[in-house]
Structure 1
Amino acid sequence: MPATDFTKELAALIKARFPIIYVVTWEEKRFVDTVKTMLQDTALFSKPRPVWEWTVVDGYVKNNRLEKGDVKTPMRALEFADELEEDGVLILKDMYAQLANPNCEQNIIRKLKDLVWRIKEGDWLKTVIITGHDKFIPDALQKEILIKEFALPTADEIQKVLLNLVEQNRQNQRLRFDLNANNAVARLCEAACGLTLNEAENAFALSMVNDGVLDIHDISTIAEEKKQIIHRNGLLEFSMPKLKMGDIGGLENLKKWLEKRADSWSEQARKYNIPAPRGVLITGLPGCGKSLTAKTVSTSWNVPLLRLDMGAVFSGLVGSSERNMRTVIQTAESMAPCVLWIDEIEKAFSGVGSSGDSGTATRLFGTFLTWMQEKEKFVFVVATANNIDFLPPELMRKGRFDEIFFVDLPTRAERKIIIDIHLKKRLTHPEVLGNLKLDDSFIDPLVERTEGFTGAEIEQVVISGLFEAFSENRPIVMEDFITAIENTVPLVVTQSEKIRAIREWANVRAVSATSVSHKVPNNQPVSSDPKKPDEEASRGGRSIEF
């Protein structure tokens, strides 16, 4: 079996006599098996080396045999590693618990420091490897211990587990395997990427038990297993929305841009040597479809949606915020391909660089920007923002997001689509619809009267109108909606100055999410009512057609 990049790098570190290496992994068994295989590979080592495994329960085990059952304390484990007079690799599985303790005993730190030089200058070729599910290195040891991350299994490794499971159950008459059609094996394994081998095997086994069949439809079971991972860390929310792009009224320019990037993580996309899109920043007015767009992206691309709770990232003990951000990034990458939605991103990073920032927000912001710039896994970030005044300028620089879109109040053409969507969505019962016909003659007057309304306000107009009819137990009529419109004070009235300012900002820095065909030219009258301002002609954002 050819060595992977990880085993080559680890072998090089061992041969270079790096004394202590810290490996971040959730999979102790898989890592230990990898190390054992590596040390027996004659292409990497001229002479095989034994592996010693230490836990607080068993002490030291060598080649699957208990050798030092009385060496169970961390200090005794380090003393044994110091005194061992033979070549070998010692994997300390439970030492991370000592290092993770803020009150880590000074004698442990001192012993590790001494051990570094005693191994370096000693006669025996020894390497100590500490494993842990996160980076737990006291400041005093930061310069002494090298950190490596053991990646989650690839699709090829998962495929071996799947095929082995199928072979083990091939004779079971109660099970059926339909894996030849639709490239099922490859797609199941790709869906399971991001799981540990144990989690992947559990998901496959559960798929077989559920209905006695293992086939392409069991991708949903794998998605459910991934959902459990998200629930366990409490920092992200997992969902597979049922919304479609057609549920968004208007924003055709933004939708076209997103549609062109669908499947950009696929094998076909690799033939074009195009980079996976980093993400999109959607700014604009509240209630105009920013969050709805984030949800529909995951549906149209058929990938999971992860919603990041920045409040949960910042909560906890000192130092935990940075660890939470690393967990978010690792979890999101393990779920790839996926959409990571950061709602109202300006609230998360508004304190960056300010006098009130203790440094945590700045460090988290730096970590996020670096990841956005360098990430290789397909994690498409959809960030939404209402208040652009609080957005750090570093976030707006080209190369962070692929594009910045501005979502304005819906135009006349967009309002017509929005009203049509909500009326058809809710007026489904003939007794409520009565003799009403949902044609242009009914919708156009509503479009005229709702200039300056957000999409959310238009939806509430429809709902309020239906409540009027419901309260009197009769079919809906036009007057119900007109009353609801007259009782609504739209955002354009309450925040006119703010809207004007954000449009001026967007005219320079953002692309209009509205298609040019849905905008009204500046010289074209908008409303037949001369008392109403020509509001529609002033929509913000640069007009670029995708």
Structure 2
Amino acid sequence: MSVSSEIAELWSAGTPVLYLVTPEEDRAVAACQAAAAAFDARCAVWSSHRGLDPAAPGAKEPAALLDALLRAPAPFLAVALDFHHALASPAVARQLRDALPRMAAEGRCLAVVAPRLALPDGLGTDAAVIRVPLPDDAELGALLEVVQAGLAHPAAPPPLPADVRHRALVAARGLSEAQARRAFTRALRRDAALGPEGIGAVAAEKKRLLARDLGLELVEAAERPEDLGGLGAFKAWMDERALAFDPDASRWGLPPPRGVLLVGVQGCGKSLAAKAAAARLGVPVLRLDLPRVLGAQTGAEEGLARALEAAEALAPVALWVDEIEKGFAGSAPGDGGEPRAARLLGAFSTWLQERKGPVFVVATANDVSRLPPELLRRGRFDELFFVDLPDPEARREILALHLRRRGREPGAVDVAAIAELCADYSGAELEQVVIGALHRAYALGRELETADLRRVAQDLVPLFRTYEEQIKALREWARGRARVAGRAGAVVDLFRRVQ
């Protein structure tokens, strides 16, 4: 259902107040005007600067607006811009509540347009909240034609091939109407045929706008599953889930995979695994900066809603949420029970449970003591994996990967001996062993040798020695709660007991 149809349906049902949550005033006003036109009713737009235009331009105060709304011939729709500020006044809220019965009976409606939801107590039961969605492909297509015609005026714009037009619309998904207009204008001025350079301009503009406005970052991930050392159980699980993204899977009855939560030791490849998972699914990676989105003192709820809406508009996509426990710090009663943090966690948890589009969420966490229990419920994620320090086989894989990445053949050195020497090293620390050994060999003016790797490995102090108790506690927490991302769970449990 379109926004204008929803407005018309609620208005005709006697809803006296509509609250349209959107930063795009022009789209909201256009939807309200279309709804009024469907009823052959009058519609006027109010702002504190212009008054109620065109019905009562002199009604610039909130109280005057409500008086003018009751005097106008019914049916009547008043669209009030930024009226949420006026509703913060108890006197204005009271005046509106007194007018509600008459408004509902006579077909008068007040449509509040605001970038965030701020309904005062007492109006919640009489107001219908409408979150104006981002433009769909049809709206983006119409906008592209308007921009193309405007730039080509007075000549007729050349028609775009269907495949080029489709790529342009896909590149613009997730943008507001104003943002898409700027992106299309920039792209068409650079390349009127919207070739690779023009499409690249749309994608670059989207990347910049998403990061600035929504705390979303399109990550250029070069990692592939084969670039991930160890984590065999996780990679096998991802191979199964990737099949569910095929079109035949939905016809067979399989829903799109929802996501995975990776908890474990720092530096053991959780972030790398998130990007490798997206590569296995064949979808782009969208990183959500939760601390930035939720850190705003005002409008955090709307910021989160807009970011998640943009992620769904970009689907299919992998949404990477790094260190998710930090984003919702303070949401648990033991953390002080901050109401705002709890509301944000509730909104995010609900979205995880009810999202419809193919958005595969990959969340990572280091500190399970700060992980809200709401995120661990089944249905939020398909699976919970524990990422431990790599076992001997995984250490050999990781060392070999980093040697090949730097142009060295693993067979030229004793990788197995170095892997045994690095029993408590994380994946990040194993990478530093390789890098440090290359520095040493370069300084000595010769090729890399096993002795260089051994020397660096012996000098490096792994995180395990500093945080041994915390890591053991993390392992104990994961026992029975999470699947092991590396070797089979029974083997890993035996390995822990031997330690």
CA separation of 1:202 and 1:375: change in aligned 2, threshold 3 A: same
Show the counterpart of 1:531.
none
SS of 2:260's partner is strand
Query: Do residues 127 (structure 1) and 109 (structure 2) align?
Result: yes
Asked if the contact 1:92/1:128 (under 8 Å) is kept, the reply is yes
Equivalent position of 1:109 in the other structure: 93
Scaled by the length of structure 2, the TM-score of the pair is 0.87
Question: 1:482-521 to 2 correspondence within 5 Å?
Answer: 482-514=454-486
Query: Deviation string for 1:141-190 (max 9, x for gaps)?
Result: 3334322222222212222323454566679999876634xx44334323
**Deviation per residue, 1:323-354 (Å, 9 max, x gap):** 55444434443444333333233344464122
- 8 Å CA contact 1:409, 1:539 repeated in 2: no
Are the equivalent residues in 2 in contact too, given 1:280–1:403 (CA < 8 A)?
Answer: yes
Aligned CA distance change for structure 1 residues 310 and 538 (closer, same or farther; 3 Å): same
CA distance in 2, matches of 1:269, 1:204: 35
The 5 A counterparts of 1:272-311 are 272-300=252-280, 301-310=282-291
1:409-488 superposed matches below 5 A: 409-426=389-406, 428=407, 438-439=410-411, 442-488=414-460
Contact 1:188 1:216 in 2 (8 A): no
Q: 1:11 aligns with which of 8, 11, 24?
A: 8
Q: d(CA) in 2 for partners of 1:353 and 1:347? A: 15
The change in CA–CA distance for 1:260 and 1:210 in structure 2 (over 3 A counts) is: farther
Asked whether the 8 Å contact 2:164–2:194 carries over to 1, the reply is: no
The 3 A distance-change label for structure 1 pair 173 and 246 is farther
CA distance in 2, matches of 1:321, 1:200: 23
Aligned-partner SS, 1:306: strand
Q: 2:437 & 2:314 partners in 1: Cα distance? A: 43
* Structure 2 counterpart of 1:54, from 46, 49, 71: 46
SS at match of 1:204: helix
1:209 CA displacement: 1.8
CA distance in 2, matches of 1:143, 1:499: 50
Flag the 1:234–1:8 CA change in 2: closer, same or farther, 3 A: closer
Q: Matched residue of 2:414: which SS? A: helix
CA RMSD, aligned part only? 3.3
**1:527 is matched with which residue?**
none
CA gap 1:329/1:172 in 2 versus in 1, 3 angstroms: same
- C-alpha distance in structure 1 between counterparts of 2:493 and 2:55, whole Å: 80
Distance in 2 separating the partners of 1:305 and 1:83: 50
Larger radius of gyration: 1
Following TM superposition, by how much is the alpha carbon of 1:20 offset from its aligned partner in structure 2, in angstroms? 1.7
Contact 1:286 1:386 in 2 (8 A): yes
- Give a deviation string over 1:244-295, Cα, whole Å, max 9, x none: 3332212233223334444856755543443232221111211110011123
Distance 1:176 1:462 in 2: 56
After superposition, where does 1:344-355 map in structure 2 within 5 Å?
344-349=323-328, 351=330, 352-354=332-334
User: May I ask how many residue pairs the two structures share in their alignment?
Assistant: 495
Displacement of 1:243: 2.8
Deviations 1:91-117 (A, max 9, x none): 122423433xxxx33332222122212
Partner of 2:224: 244
Do the aligned partners of residues 537 and 495 (structure 1) sit closer, same or farther apart at CA in structure 2, a change above 3 Å counting?
farther
Contact 1:179 1:214 in 2 (8 A): no
Gaps of 5+ in 1: 523-534, 541-546
**CA distance in 1: counterparts of 2:176 and 2:292, whole angstroms:** 28
Which protein is richer in helix relative to its size?
Answer: 2
Amino acid at match of 2:337: D
**Aligned-residue offset at 1:214:** 0.9
1:96 equivalent among 84, 91, 114: 84
Query: What SS does the aligned partner of 1:451 have?
Result: coil
2:100 is paired with a residue whose SS is helix
Q: Which residue of 2 aligns with 1:333?
A: 312
Match of 2:130 among 141, 145, 148: 148
CA distance in 2: counterparts of 1:396 and 1:261, whole angstroms: 19
Shift of 1:361: 3.2
Within-5 A mapping of 1:397-412:
397-412=377-392
Are 1:175 and 1:208, in contact at CA under 8 Å, matched by a contact in 2? no
Shift of 1:398: 1.6
Encode CA deviations 1:411-441: one digit per residue, 9 max, x unaligned: 2332222112212223x4xxxx7xxx54165
SS in 2 for 1:214: coil
Flag the 1:363–1:26 CA change in 2: closer, same or farther, 3 A: closer
Cα distance in 2 for residues equivalent to 1:76 and 1:356: 44
Unaligned runs of 5+ in 2: none
Per-residue CA deviations over 1:444-499 (Å, capped at 9, x if unaligned) read 33223223321111011112212223434443332221110111233444444444
Measure how far apart 1:401 and its partner are. 0.9
- Rounded to whole Å, the distance in 1 between the matches of 2:194 and 2:401 is 39
Query: Which of these residues, 228, 231, 235, is aligned with residue 255 of structure 1?
Result: 235
Letter in 2 for 1:401: F
1:161 to 137, 143, 146: 143
Q: Quick one: which amino acid aligns to residue 342 of structure 1?
A: V
Q: In the alignment, is the contact (CA less than 8 A) between 2:318 and 2:360 conserved in 1?
A: yes
Q: Quote the residue 1:35 is aligned against.
A: 32
